[in-house]
Amino acid sequence: MSWKLVTVEAKAKHTATVVFLHGLGDTGHGWSSNLEAILDPHVKLICPTANNMPVSINFGMRMPSWFDIFGLSDDAKEDTAGVHRAAKELQALIENEVKSGIPSSRIILGGFSQGGALSLYTALTMDLPLSGVLALSSWLPLHKELPGAVKGNQHVPMLQCHGDADFVVPFMWGQKTAEFLSAMNPNHKFKTYRGLQHSSSPEELEEVRAFIKQHLPSDSK
């Protein structure tokens, strides 16, 4: 595991885990405090920090990034090798959590922006069944590989959230991703937040809290 992990241990008996990935240029610390405040005591939180790498869309500047981003248009080149590499490492992180005694069906995977993009792709291309997937202000990378590359989790609960004033990851990308996912997954839900830019909000965090509480209940054995 090459990523540094920000881990918030469960306050009670650990029976479930949330793995949440930050957006481009952020760190695991960026989301850990917000999420820790809304998790039940039995839930452990893991927020990895991506390695520093040159990012093409930011003129080659080095920053924490899960994979390279060349552009934010429909015809932009994608970092296929980078996405595959990061997805493999994310799957290994989840497998380590399973080895520690937490079934994959008691793990929710999610992220913001680029982190949500990697979470969506990883969930759909791995065999381990998750409890749910969260994608905030995100998109589905390498969508042309799908559904042929789908191995699992196409029917697990998915909560996708996007602000309609997002000009970093355009709202249209969120809509197209939602159309693609809902066509294969009856348990996909797309929430739109009026006036929200490329950020989160108390309303969105409450939706995330409710989703986690519903799909990682404390009374599960």
Above 60 in pLDDT, residue 220?
Answer: no
Residues whose CB is less than 8 angstroms from the CB of residue 128 and which lie 6 or more positions away in sequence, other chains included: 91, 94, 95, 98, 104, 152
Amino acid at 44: K
Q: What is the pLDDT of residue 1?
A: 65
The total of other beta-carbon atoms located within 10 Å of residue 192's CB is 14
- The answer to whether residues 158 and 187 touch, using CB atoms and an 8 Å cutoff, is yes
pTM: 0.96
pLDDT of residue 148: 84
Q: Average pLDDT for residues 170-186, to the nearest whole number?
A: 95
Position 176 confidence tier, pLDDT thresholds 50, 70, 90: very high
Mean pLDDT within 77-83 = 96
- Answer whether residue 20 shows pLDDT above 80: yes
Task: Tell me the domains of the chain and their CATH numbers.
Answer: 4-215 (3.40.50.1820)
List active site positions.
113, 166, 198
| Alpha-carbon dihedral angle through residues 205, 210, 212, 213, given to the nearest 10 degrees | 140
Of 101, 72, 66, 105, whose CA–CA distance to 86 is shortest?
Answer: 66
Directed axis angle between helix 80-99 and helix 114-124, to 10°? 70
Mean pLDDT (the chain, rounded): 95
Task: Please report the pLDDT score of residue 121 as a whole number.
Answer: 97
Three-state SS at 6: strand
Least confident of 39-43, 84-88, 102-106, 215-219: 215-219
What is the average pLDDT across 30-45? 95
118-148 confidence digits (pLDDT tens): 999 999 999 999 999 999 999 999 988 888 8
Report the pLDDT value the prediction gives residue 2, as an integer from 0 to 100. Answer: 86
Task: Spell out where 50-203 has E strands.
Answer: 52-55, 61-64, 107-112, 132-136, 158-163, 188-193
Q: Is the pLDDT confidence value at 149 over 90?
A: no
pLDDT > 70 in the chain, percent: 98
pLDDT recorded at residue 70 = 95
pLDDT band at 63 (very low <50, low <70, confident <90, very high): very high
